[in-house]
Structure 1
Amino acid sequence: MRKFLTLFFLALLASCELFMSKEDKTKQLVNEELLAIDWNDVDQYPLFEACDETVSKEIQRECFQTEILKIASKALDSLRFEVQQDLEDTIFIDLVVDEHGFISIVDIEEKQNVLNEIGDFNTQISNTLKDLTVAPALKRGIPVSLRFRIPIVLNTQ
């Protein structure tokens, strides 16, 4: 009889989940699901019209980066700078694509040699890229913000 009671209590303790309320079970499942999500990755990258949403994430990322670099290059081509000394440098621009698809510049790496030659470089770049929009990145079907860093190569030679 003692063995039976001991087994009964062990079985009862092992099956505590039987006594959990539905709300507690739901909370536990949600917490487990949230812990399983990789919050550093998205399911779909931001997309321009030229990008295909049915391709793999890597190709989407490459398409987004190619398109944003084309736009940045075109914007730079439209600007006219006068420099005293030749410039050959790379500047990194940090962009955020918010959950609505608006692109904004978070930071432009400041290089003293560029600022010495083109004092308002950061302002002009910000103004040319400020009105861009794309389809936002998606995580589990929900639009999310995403941060990117793109290189801008300056060569005045």
Structure 2
Amino acid sequence: MKQYYLFLVFIFFNSCQYFDKQIPSEKELLQKELKSINWKEVDEYPSVVDCEKIEDKKQRQQCFFEVLTQLIQEKLSVDTLSILYPELDTIEVKVTVFPNATMQFEPQFPKDSVAYDKIKIDSILKVRLVDFPKINPAIKRGIPVKTQFILPVILKVE
């Protein structure tokens, strides 16, 4: 019986090598995790209070874009852009939502466009596009992140 216990102890200590597995290094784990993250997508898109009750991710994103476009159109509808540039009926605005919930607006023009005074239009946008409702920034893996998108804004509705 004593030999039996001795044999079991011998097998027990030798079997530990079968359980010894290679542990990946921190760098390997980090690289694997970084490769698995889709950096082009966010977990939650920016949103406003009116869109918070929507559960579907795509519908919430669409609601946010519609609300923001409508707000921009309302703020620019009483402005001199349509008087200064009567041929300008739609303007593309690059919207940047920062992690601290602030926003920046930047007009986008075709590369060959020289017909518009870009500085004047940019200054009009900066003056008019203020006092927006609270915007919740986009979320990626539980952390607020910066997002950018381009919205077409209709200046004249006929």
Mark yes or no: TM-score above 0.5. Answer: yes
Tell me which residue corresponds to 2:66: 66
Cα distance, 1:27–1:124 mapped onto 2, change above 3 Å: same
Cα offset, 1:29, TM superposition: 2.2
Cα offset, 1:47, TM superposition: 0.9
Tell me which residue corresponds to 1:139: 140
Amino acid at match of 1:86: P
1:86 and 2:89 matched: no
Mapped partners of 1:70, 1:141: distance in 2:
29
Amino acid at match of 2:21: L
Matches within 5 A, 1:5-154: 18-20=21-23, 24=25, 26-52=26-52, 55-81=55-81, 83=83, 86-105=86-105, 107-110=106-109, 111-115=113-117, 120-132=120-132, 133-154=134-155
Amino acid at match of 1:18: K
Contact preservation (8 Å) 2:77, 2:156: no
Cα offset, 1:88, TM superposition: 4.4
Mapped partners of 2:84, 2:39: distance in 1:
47
Identity of aligned residues (%): 24
TM-score (norm 1): 0.71
SS of 2:151's equivalent? strand
Question: What is the number of equivalent residue pairs in this alignment?
Answer: 136
Amino acid at match of 1:109: Q
Contact preservation (8 Å) 1:88, 1:153: no
Unaligned runs of 5+ in 2: 1-17
Unaligned runs of 5+ in 1: 1-14
Cα distance, 1:53–1:136 mapped onto 2, change above 3 Å: farther
Amino acid at match of 2:108: E
Mapped partners of 2:98, 2:85: distance in 1:
38
Contact preservation (8 Å) 2:82, 2:89: no
TM-score (norm 2): 0.71
Cα distance, 1:85–1:135 mapped onto 2, change above 3 Å: closer
Q: Deviations over 1:93-139 (max 9, x none)?
A: 1111011111112x312454454xx9833211122224434111001
Mapped partners of 2:30, 2:66: distance in 1:
37
Q: Deviations over 1:36-64 (max 9, x none)?
A: 01000001011111112651221121011
